[in-house]
Every structure is written in C-alpha cells, then in structure tokens.
Amino acid sequence: MGSFVFRVFCAALLFWPSQSCFQCFVATQDSLRLCWGHVLIQSNARNVDACFRKVDRIFNNNVKMMEAARVGGGFDKKLKEILLAEIMPMVKEFDQKLNSETVYEQRFQTAADNFIAAASKLPRASGCFPPCGYQSAGAVYNCVTCSYDSCEFPLDCPVEEIEVMENSRSRLWCDVPFDLPADIEVIWRFAEEVKTQQLEEFKEVTAGVDRLYSIPSTSLQHQGTYQCEIYTGHLSIVRLYFYITVTPQAVVGHTELQEIFDLSLLPGGQLRPAPEGSPDSFLPLLSFLLIACLTCSLLLLFLSLGAFIWSFVPEKEIVISNEEDSML
C-alpha cells in the first residue's frame, strides 16, 4: 500500500504547474509522510492526492511566499531552515495518523504565513546595475527554479570613447557600479589604432590589482582601444573598453588660429571692427596721448635750452661796458 501511495505522489508531482520553496527544501519522502493521513470530510476517506493539491495551492501558487523568498546570495540555506522549522513538526505529527482536511488547511496556511513573515526579514539582493558585468551580489533566489537568478547582463561593456591631446596625461579607471570581491585580479590589454571588442586583437599590457591605468604623456602610438578585465579566481566578472583618440598639438594650434581668423572676418573677406570696449578700440586714443606727450617733452626741452642760453647774455654785456670805461 505504501509503495502505491508513493507512486501516486510521484505522478502528482509531474502535473504540478511549477516548483515552489516547498519542493525546493522539503524532501519527497517527508512530503509523503506529511500527506499520509489526509482525510476528506465529505467521504471520510483518506485522499493523498487532495493533500498534494492543497500544498500546491498554499505553497506553490502563493505569490507572497515566492516574493518573500527572493533573498540575496547565500541566504537560501536560511530559507530552508525557516520552512523546515514549520513543516517538519507537522510531518512527525501527521505521519501514519488520520487528520481532517480542515486541520491540514489551517496548519498549512499558518506555516505559509510564518514563512512569509520570517523570510521577508532576510537581506535582499543589492540589485542589478546595467549595462554589463557578472554581478553575483545582484542575484536573487527563485523558488520556481530552486536557484539564483543572475542579472543576465553581458560580460562586455560598451566602448567608452575618450579624446585627448598629444603630450597630455591620460588616466583610465577600471571601475564598476556594483560590489566586487576582495580577491580580484585586473588585466589591462591594448589594441593599437583600432576601435574593437574582438578579444584576439588585444595584447596584454599589465596584470595585477591596480584598477588605474595611467599614461604620463600621451602620444600618437597610444591611440587605440584599451580593455580592462576583472577576475576573481578563474572567473571573469566584467570587461571594460576605452577607445582613445589622440589629437596632435600642431593640428590643435592650427585649428585654433584658423577659428580666430574665421571669426574676425566679415562676409566678403573684410575684417570685423573691434568691439566697443575691446583693447583695439583704445589704440587711436593711446596714439594721440603718446604724440601729445612727445610734443610737450620737446617743447619743454626747447624752453629749457632757451632759458639757459639767455642767462649768459647779461653777463657778457656787463663785461664789455667795463672794458670801455677803462680805455677812456
């Protein structure tokens, strides 16, 4: 008789529409012991299949229970402890004993409510941060699959374009918005001149734990795509890409002069007048002041020379008069 009931139970499992936390954590043999004495009120007959349908309704199709079980990484073991603490006492109590279906209904519902209350207090996952990377901290437990759902983002991030001038310093950060394990390794690779995400085109540059890649003086030979890949153990977590475009300084200087010249021209090739208040508008005034100062300086010089010469004339006349008096 026992083997027949067990076969009925296994057949019933095939028709259950989905998994649940009950099936993830409660062993098949314990489920059989739990439903062994389920008795229908109307017929006063033992009906294990009706007990399985009750489990399916209260545990499998309970949306609140499924949501409460969406915990962060590593807490699935705690979910199992919580559920077994509710189910196993009933297994021991109901095994090989007859109980009315109303008793099962009440006890099952209480167990589900207690599980929801306790599981809801467990830590949640940190969430998934788009658009890329294997984010274990963002995975949540799923009672439908009895496993963790990953963020399902691609390992490769989009290429970030960076423009730098020749001889300037360039700094690339291998940074992500999600938490990383403590034991990471960072490998920097470079594909010269091309913008690409094809792995075979990259050559390794450095390996270690430094997530900063610095170029003290960027030259034309540094133009290309840089890849930063973060590992934990042998597992790749994320790959970031940076495409650097280097502009020669000569081109920058020529472009700036051309822009200044273009801005100074009116339609037809005429130069624009200097705006009022600009340094060029003061040039005529400065020229006038300079000429005026120079004229005043020359006039002052001539006057000084004239006064100096005039100061000697009276003395000369006096000397001549004295000489004439002595001759007489």
CB atoms within 10 A of CB 70: 19
- Complete domains list, the chain, with CATH: 2-119 (no CATH), 156-249 (2.60.40.10)
Amino acid of residue 82: I
Confidence of residue 170 (pLDDT cuts 50, 70, 90): very high
Inter-axis angle of helices 101-119 and 76-94, to 10 degrees?
A: 160
- Answer yes or no: are the C-beta atoms of 76 and 148 closer than 8 Å: yes
Residue 169 pairs in a beta bridge with: none
- Answer yes or no: are the C-beta atoms of 208 and 185 closer than 8 Å: yes
Q: What is the mean pLDDT of residues 146-158?
A: 93
Look at 11 and 292; give whichever has higher pLDDT. 292
pLDDT over 90 at 87, yes or no: yes
pLDDT over 80 at 46, yes or no: yes
Residues 204-217 pLDDT 10s: 999 999 999 999 99
pLDDT over 80 at 77, yes or no: yes
Say what the pLDDT of residue 297 is: 76
Say what the pLDDT of residue 298 is: 76
Look at 246 and 291; give whichever has higher pLDDT. 246
Q: What is the mean pLDDT of residues 24-49?
A: 95
DSSP labels for 122-167? Answer: SPPP----SS-S--GGG-EEETTTTEEEP----SEEEEEEEEEETT
The structure's pTM equals 0.60
d(CA 73, CA 124): 8
pLDDT over 60 at 224, yes or no: yes
Helix (H) or strand (E) holding 232: strand 224-232
pLDDT over 90 at 247, yes or no: yes
